[in-house]
Amino acid sequence: MSLNKAFHEIKEIGGVRCSVVETGLSKERFDFLKSILEFNKQEVVFEEAAPKNEGDKTTFNLGVKDVSFNAIISVYQRKLRTKDMHKITADYWNQKSTVTEPNYWALDKK
């Protein structure tokens, strides 16, 4: 579930019922989110999605075993941390910025 999707989706991934974090991820995005979630003590579940066309790259579906986990709430309530213990912002989660400050509401700082 990306931060712009309103619904909290629960689905079976890899034979485990879980809360969907995002689907259709590239390998780089998958690795980025997986490292954040594992650092924040979430049990990650994933599966490779088969390419739709012959030339397409493999994508990943990512979830966590905690069915109450909601990425939108966790990011905007500043519950997730980076490895250097900074709070994760929406821009950091979406990989628009590597800086965890300023806060997302400080528009004059962007």
What's the CA dihedral at 7, 100, 33, 12 to 10 degrees? -20
Q: What does the domain layout of the chain look like in residue ranges? A: 10-109
pLDDT tens digits along 42-67: 999 999 987 778 788 889 999 999 99
- Cis before 102? omega within 30: yes
DSSP letter assigned to residue 81: B
pTM of the model: 0.84
Helices (H), the chain: 27-39, 71-76, 90-93
Helix or strand (DSSP H, E) at 48: strand 44-49
On whether the CB atoms of residues 64 and 37 are closer than 8 A, the answer is: yes
Q: Look over the chain and give the mean of its residue pLDDT values, rounded to a whole number.
A: 87
